């Protein structure tokens, strides 16, 4: 997912789903989906300057309570994180 662009994040609080809307290296729209989320952190501190490009993705990692955690680091320095029952990441071709 390196150099992909994060376009937006949709949150359905009633259902508990989150969708990260991305554009991949082929300029195609792709979605990272999290189901039944319990935590979502979306800081915007611009530590490294403005950017919506993905630098690194860690996970999904299984947690002790049976959930999954994913951290998406942007090239701005933001570290977005989500914990959910299930996280589906798009193929990184």
pTM: 0.90
CA distances from 89 to 17, 44, 46, 60 (A): 14, 22, 25, 8
- Going by pLDDT thresholds of 50, 70 and 90, the confidence category of residue 62 is very high
Does the pLDDT of residue 93 top 80, yes or no?
no
CB 43 within 8 A of CB 55: no
pLDDT in tens, 13-42: 999 999 999 999 888 899 999 999 999 999
| Mean per-residue pLDDT, 38-67 | 94
> What is the edge-to-edge ordering of all strands in the sheet holding 79-88?
5-12, 17-23, 29-41, 79-88, 68-74, 54-62
- Going by pLDDT thresholds of 50, 70 and 90, the confidence category of residue 91 is confident
pLDDT in tens, 47-56: 899 999 999 9
């Amino acid at each position: 997912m390196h150099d992909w662009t994060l376009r937006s994040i949709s949150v359905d609080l009633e259902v508990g789903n989150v969708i990260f809307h991305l554009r991949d290296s082929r300029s195609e729209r792709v979605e990272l989906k999290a189901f039944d989320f319990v935590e979502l952190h979306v800081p915007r501190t611009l530590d490294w300057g403005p950017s919506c490009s993905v630098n690194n993705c860690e996970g999904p990692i299984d947690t002790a309570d049976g959930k999954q955690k994913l951290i998406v680091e942007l090239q701005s320095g933001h570290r977005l994180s989500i914990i959910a029952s299930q996280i589906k990441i798009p193929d990184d071709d």
